[in-house]
């Protein structure tokens, strides 16, 4: 039985009502890491792993929520929401709070959550959940929230209620995903372009370190602050600069001596990653995946050495692939400090590569490697009720 059917059944048996079902996917990011909150560019795609919510109005004044995969429940009144140590209800409460602030009338509701986006693997299970809930509430109460507003308020929910100052990439990819396409997103204007990425004979493979990124949120917020510090310094020389997006490599190099060396490294990484992404899009247009793959390695080395958000396990998995003829490119993906590497691998070599990497990884790092192949799918949508 698939997830949608399962939560539909669970919802009916718990609440005796027929729910709406919404699916909102996790994402991969081909290149452009830690650029989104610097107003730069990213190249994500929505995948075949998603968060699902079954939802219907509550029969009383209280919201009853169920996390099916955790076997956990939560009840709350909409005017008494506050941060919960349980974790998962914060993603729902954060979205409700943002909808209310934007003037949308949210009434008490019941929901059942589930999903198959691996948690802590850097595939944005939290953004998927926020977008699923926001979209579901909009459908349920006929709020007609636009897709762009949904993305923005889901991001704000993460920033303000959950407390991670993440950029807009994850929510955008979840909501705007398109089957067989990556999204080239300008994170300043939110203009975007779909890139067909049916790469004949090549699979997008994720290797999961099995390291949960516990440092991720505090270090993430520190990186963001360091980038802002760099911008403030450069603004003294050119007040038109609003973000690292506006800074050229030449300009920052001219002012290198004024920088704290760590802040300099953070900033130059971001500037170079934006440039790398532009070149990588050129590669995709020409169908030059070899060159694209080399830029993925470039991105990894920048994240490891200059931005310092990698970890031994991620580095090990990327280095392993360097001498593999079947791997075109590899790099850590997402916030860092654990999670997955993303690899472009020749289809016929995927299984053999995984077997060898799994053995080597166990010996080197003492951990069990997991692999997912990412199929690029459509973004957030209602699942047709006729199917149940
Ligand atoms: C996390 C954040 C995103 C983005 C990436 C790094 O996934 O949620 O907004 O900043 O890290 O690229």
386: buried, middle or exposed (CB in 10 Å: 19+, 13-18, 0-12)?
A: exposed
Q: What is the mean pLDDT of the chain?
A: 96
CA of 8 to the centre of ligand 1 (A): 31
> Which of 121, 157, 170 has the most ligand 1 atoms within 8 A of CB, as the residue to mutate?
170
State the virtual CA torsion across 221, 227, 233, 234 in degrees, nearest 10: -160
pLDDT band at 164; cut points 50, 70, 90: confident
Residues 6+ apart with CB under 8 A from 311: 209, 211, 336, 337, 338
Give the pLDDT of residue 292: 96
Give the pTM.
Answer: 0.96
- Taking CA atoms only, the protein residue closest to ligand 1 atom 9 is 167
Q: What digits encode the pLDDT tens for the residues 68-110?
A: 999 999 999 999 999 999 999 999 999 999 999 999 999 999 9
Which DSSP state fits 178?
Answer: B
- Kindly list the structural domains of the chain, giving each domain's residue range(s) and its CATH number in brackets, ordered by start: 3-197+377-387 (3.30.230.10), 202-374 (3.30.70.890)
> Contact, 181 vs 27, CB < 8 A?
no
Using the predicted structure, report yes or no on whether residue 388 has a pLDDT greater than 80: no
- What is the average pLDDT across 220-247? 97
Query: Quick one: which H or E segment has residue 296?
Result: helix 289-305
Give the pLDDT of residue 298: 98
Give the pLDDT of residue 355: 98
> Contact, 104 vs 143, CB < 8 A?
yes
Which segment of 89-103, 108-122, 204-218, 289-303 scores lowest on mean pLDDT?
204-218
Using the predicted structure, report yes or no on whether residue 349 has a pLDDT greater than 80: yes
pLDDT band at 215; cut points 50, 70, 90: low
> Which of 32, 34, 122, 190 has the most ligand 1 atoms within 8 A of CB, as the residue to mutate?
34
pLDDT band at 306; cut points 50, 70, 90: very high
CA of 133 to the centre of ligand 1 (A): 20
């Amino acid at each position: 039985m698939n997830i949608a059917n399962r939560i539909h059944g669970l919802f009916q048996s718990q609440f005796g009502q027929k729910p709406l079902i919404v699916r909102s996917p996790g994402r991969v990011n081909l290149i452009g890491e830690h650029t989104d909150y610097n107003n730069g560019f990213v190249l994500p795609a929505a995948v075949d792993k998603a968060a699902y919510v079954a939802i219907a109005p509550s029969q009383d004044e209280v919201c009853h929520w169920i996390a099916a995969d955790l076997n956990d429940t939560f009840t709350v009144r909409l005017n008494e929401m506050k941060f919960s140590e349980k974790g998962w209800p914060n993603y729902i409460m954060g979205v409700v709070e943002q909808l209310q602030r934007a003037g949308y009338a949210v009434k008490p509701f019941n929901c059942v959550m589930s999903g198959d986006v691996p948690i802590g693997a850097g595939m944005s299970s939290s953004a998927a959940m926020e977008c699923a809930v926001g979209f579901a509430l909009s459908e349920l109460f006929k709020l007609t929230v636009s897709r762009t507003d949904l993305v923005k308020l889901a991001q704000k929910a993460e920033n303000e209620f959950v407390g991670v100052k993440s950029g807009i990439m994850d929510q955008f990819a979840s909501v705007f995903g398109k089957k067989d396409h990556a999204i080239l997103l300008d994170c300043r204007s939110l203009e975007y372009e779909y890139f067909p990425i049916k790469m004949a004979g090549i699979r997008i493979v994720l290797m999961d370190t099995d390291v949960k990124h516990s440092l991720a949120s505090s270090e993430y917020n520190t990186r963001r602050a360091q980038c802002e510090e760099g911008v403030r310094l450069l603004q003294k020389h050119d007040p038109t600069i609003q973000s690292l997006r506006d800074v050229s490599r030449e300009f920052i190099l001219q002012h290198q001596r004024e920088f704290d060396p760590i802040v300099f490294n953070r900033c130059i990484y971001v500037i170079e990653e934006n440039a790398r992404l532009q070149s990588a899009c050129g590669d995709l247009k020409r169908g030059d995946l070899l060159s694209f793959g080399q830029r993925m390695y470039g991105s990894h080395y920048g994240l490891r050495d200059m931005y310092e958000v990698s970890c031994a396990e991620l580095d090990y998995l990327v280095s392993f692939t360097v001498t593999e003829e079947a791997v075109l490119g590899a790099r850590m993906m997402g916030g860092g400090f654990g999670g997955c590497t993303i690899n472009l691998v020749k289809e016929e070599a995927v299984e053999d590569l995984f077997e060898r990497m799994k053995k080597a990884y166990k010996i080197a790092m003492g951990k069990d490697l997991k692999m997912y192949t990412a199929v690029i799918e459509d973004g957030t949508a209602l699942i047709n009720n006729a199917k149940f």
